[in-house]
Chains A and B, each alone.
Chain A
Amino acid sequence: MTALGWFQILLFAALVVAVTRPLGGFMTRVFTGERTVLTPLLRPVERGLYRLAGVDETAEQHWTAYAVAMLLFSAAGMLLLYVMQRVQDALPFNPAGMTDVPADLAFNTAASFITNTNWQNYGGESTMAYLVQMAGLTVHNTVSAATGIALAVALVRGFARSSARTVGNFWVDVTRCTLYVLLPICVVYALFLVWQGVPQTLGAYVDATTLEGAKQTIALGPVASQEAIKMLGTNGGGFFNANSAHPFENPNALTNLVQMVSIFALGAGLTNLFGRMVGDERQGWAILAAMGVLFFAGVAVAYWAEAQGNPAFAALGVDPAAGNMEGKETRFGVALSALFATVTTAASCGAVNAMHDSFMPLGGMVPLINMMLGEIIIGGVGAGLYGMLLFAIVALFVAGLMVGRTPEYLGKKLEAREVKMTMLAVLCLPLMMLGWTAVAVVLDTGTASMANAGPHGFSEALYAYVSGAANNGSAFAGLTGNTLWYNLTIGMAMLVGRFFVIIPMLAIAGSLAAKKRAVASAGTFPTHDALFVGLLVGVILIVGGLTFFPALALGPVVEHLAMNAGTLF
């Protein structure tokens, strides 16, 4: 580890904190329907959309209607994306002549993009036509992110309101988020990326003749427009197979820094929106602080592990100074690769600038743990905040049990219904992650896909289901995911991981909104101070540790011990 490496990590964190308040303030205005600088330009478009869709923007929805709207919207999007892939050969904008995508892969990809996962069982430049990349994948990068943010705002309204029946209007929330937040930032961001070297063209792949006379086909496309929303919306689905490790997606250290900040930006801003909407910004900072503690713990372990380098190489006369460079790009080195890996899995982004499969055992364990905890460290846009608030409910429930008092959060009594719904949401993730892994590793069709032998092969399958259920989308990419078994089971893990968390969460939002707000008294447990942050972090680690330690012990921990003993597989 070097001082310069740590400086870059701290610079990144400082930039995230710096954008938290401005973005939180802006988003609060957008979701409460206040005027913003963009209103004169975009308000007519917004109004036109409502008229076309028959939406009454003043009519708010009960949580059940909000949930139904969200489900129908997701279903319509999934169907359209599935059909587009199945007939892409017949559609325009296909200069590379990509053929129709097979049914199981198209299902997996459609499930992947509507759930904001962006798990990729396909190689972008070798499978998808430009039209699908733009009008299919880019669209869902945007609207699945808008959906996540809308849901988080609905939950925040549940806390903020008192004796209310409704939690907002889904169509209005999604439309405003898309028009006022995501698209304007993306336009500027995409042009910045092009300036720095990211291609944006509808032209065909280019054939080059190298200096030594060999032929090299260079894949191109409308990359920058997808890249921008891929990071900002914490989607992570790369235009190219190698994702942000590809020099056309992430050409230099500056784009790398901006990409990392943009993964965290909206998620961090939402913690501030939470504070503002419940009338006490300190509540948001407390949540962000708990996220920060977990984040720095992860980055320290990952950076340390990668900087050590592979002991097997040192024995062969290879200079260990630069650390573990297998699967990493020269321009990023180990510090920025370890940081990116921690960021992308803390949020539910899943973009990668280095191949996680080739990380050191403990370096690769950090992304795994981040996802197992449910991606609540900043998290996916929206999903991170509501995931973290669910854990806050668990933490306060535990605290309530300790002192024998009905727990309260922000003046709302947390009763049996809220706690049951929370546990439902919290438990469906390990069921998908561990359940499918257990089945996959005893089936021949599951183990045949593993690229690495020994404990690392187990880690590959575990990582796949953890990433799918947590809606992350990064991979230990050696695993051949494009098989009937993995396409279907990971597809299912993604859908359950998204919607079986969302529905109970919306139910909590509805029941919280209906409650009266209790006045704070001397007996109220304050939720904006260090004690609460410590309690929250403790509960997250205990729940995560109890659930996942056995699986981690079989994968990365065993591999680490084997590596130090000089065992190869």
Chain B
Amino acid sequence: MLKELRPALVMTAALTVITGLVYPLAVTGVAQGLFGHQANGSLIVKDGAVIGSELIGQPFTGERYFQPRPSATTGPDPADPAKSVAAPYNAANSMGSNLGPTSKALVERVQADAERLKAENPSAPVPVDLVTTSGSGLDPDLSPAAADFQVPRVARARGLSEEQVRRLVEAHTAPRLLGLLGEPTVNVLKLNLALDAAAAGR
């Protein structure tokens, strides 16, 4: 038993150094050199300030912007840090709602959102991703249907034609990879940036 103790201790220490320090630090070095933008979080910088990440959804509440899916992330309560309160798109605390399919709380939430959306755009069925929270709470994307659904509202709020806004949505719709893998998506932050740019250029 004692004879076996030496390899146990030495191997634990040595493999910790190799797999826990050498490996991640070497990968960090190479990654920073080769893929600096991605390695640091694919950040979007505008006028010298970080406005977000291409990959991380952010909250939009105004009518003038395309709004993302609901998010179930929470953050510490400012009044009592031991408690947590709803904080949508908190990118330092990713999580889903974890509500099961027969949850009353889930169905009531969906009902409230669906009624609000139906009032906003009665012409189309409500896309399911607009009333469901994502797994991470940080989903950067909408389905094309969910973006299209918001076109009339955004056009109205910005005084643009629906046709103009719809063209922007189409330009920012990423198809399935090779037409086969994954689902088509619309990156909300990039679309909203393009919307602002279009307004500024007008």
Interface residues of A, Cβ cutoff 8 Å to B: 4, 7-8, 11, 45, 49, 52-55, 65, 68-69, 72-73, 75-77, 80, 123, 125-126, 134-136, 138-139, 142-143, 171, 174-175, 178, 183, 186-187, 190-191, 194-203, 205-212, 214, 216-220, 222, 224-226, 229, 240-242, 245-248, 251-254, 256-257, 309-310, 312-313, 316-333, 336-337, 352-355, 357-361, 364, 451-456, 459, 476-478, 559, 562-563, 567-569
Contact = CB atoms under 8 A, between A and B. Distances in A.
B97 to A, nearest CB: 7
A11 B54 CA distance: 28
Contacts of B91: 216-219
A186 B129 CA distance: 34
24 contacts: A11-B180, A52-B14, A55-B7, A72-B5, A73-B8, A75-B8, A134-B25, A191-B30, A191-B31, A211-B192, A212-B59, A212-B60, A241-B93, A248-B41, A312-B107, A322-B143, A327-B133, A328-B132, A331-B182, A355-B98, A452-B103, A456-B101, A568-B103, A569-B103
B78 interface: no
B40 A328 contact: no
Given A138-B23, A216-B89, A240-B94, A197 B7 contact: no
A218 B52 CA distance: 8
B16 interface: yes
A444 B147 CA distance: 45
B180 A7 contact: yes
Contact of B137 (A216, A242, A313): A242
In the complex, which of the residues A69, A202, A318 has the most CB atoms of chain B within 10 Å of its own CB atom? A318
A143 B138 CA distance: 32
A202 B28 contact: yes
Contact of A247 (B56, B115, B176, B181): B56
Contacts of A241: 93-95
A490 B31 CA distance: 37
Contacts of A218: 41, 43, 52-53, 56, 91-92
Given A187-B26, A246-B136, A357 B12 contact: no
B50 A330 contact: no
Given A54-B6, A211-B189, A454 B102 contact: yes
Interface in B15-32: 15-16, 18-21, 23-28, 30-32
B41 A135 contact: no
B142 interface: yes
A53 B40 contact: no
Interface string B24-52: 11111011101100111111000001111
B197 to A, nearest CB: 11
B114 A327 contact: no
A318 B125 contact: yes
A327 B4 contact: no
Nearest to B107: A312
Contacts of B96: 242, 245, 326-327, 354-355, 357-358, 477
A190 B27 contact: yes
Contacts of B146: 330
A125 B141 contact: no
B95 A358 contact: no
A568 B104 contact: yes
Interface size for chain B: under 10, 10 to 19, 20 to 34, or 35 or more residues? 35 or more
Per CB-CB distance, the 5 closest pairs between chain A and chain B, nearest first, are A253-B182, A245-B135, A478-B98, A135-B20, A242-B94
A135 B16 contact: yes
Nearest to B122: A317
B126 A69 contact: no
B102 A567 contact: yes
A201 B182 contact: no
B133 to A, nearest CB: 6
Nearest to A52: B10
B177 interface: yes
B14 A53 contact: yes
B111 to A, nearest CB: 5
B175 to A, nearest CB: 11
A447 B128 CA distance: 31
A320 B110 CA distance: 13
A174 B1 CA distance: 19
B11 interface: yes
Contact of B102 (A187, A209, A319, A568): A568
B11 A171 contact: yes
A134 B20 contact: yes
A76 to B, nearest CB: 4
A198 B91 CA distance: 15
A361 B102 CA distance: 9
Contacts of B95: 123, 241-242, 477
B145 interface: yes
B23 A569 contact: no
B131 A313 contact: yes
B99 A211 contact: no
Given A65-B4, A218-B92, A313-B131, A327 B40 contact: no
Contacts of B4: 65, 68-69, 72
Contacts of A332: 182-183
Contacts of B135: 242, 245, 327-329, 337, 352-355
A186 B60 CA distance: 38
Nearest to B70: A326
B61 A212 contact: yes
A247 B71 CA distance: 14
A452 B31 contact: no
B53 A326 contact: no
B58 interface: yes
Contacts of A199: 38-42
Given A194-B38, A317-B118, A319-B127, A76 B9 contact: yes
Contact of B128 (A138, A226, A320): A320
Contact of B58 (A174, A198, A211): A211
B4 to A, nearest CB: 5
Contacts of B126: 316-319
B106 interface: yes
Contact of B19 (A178, A352, A354): A178
B98 A477 contact: yes
Q: Which of B32, B42, B55, B134 has the most chain A CB atoms closer than 10 A to its own CB?
A: B134
A569 B14 CA distance: 52
A253 B55 CA distance: 13
B114 A316 contact: yes
A447 to B, nearest CB: 15
B8 A326 contact: no
Contacts of A76: 8-9, 12
Nearest to B54: A197
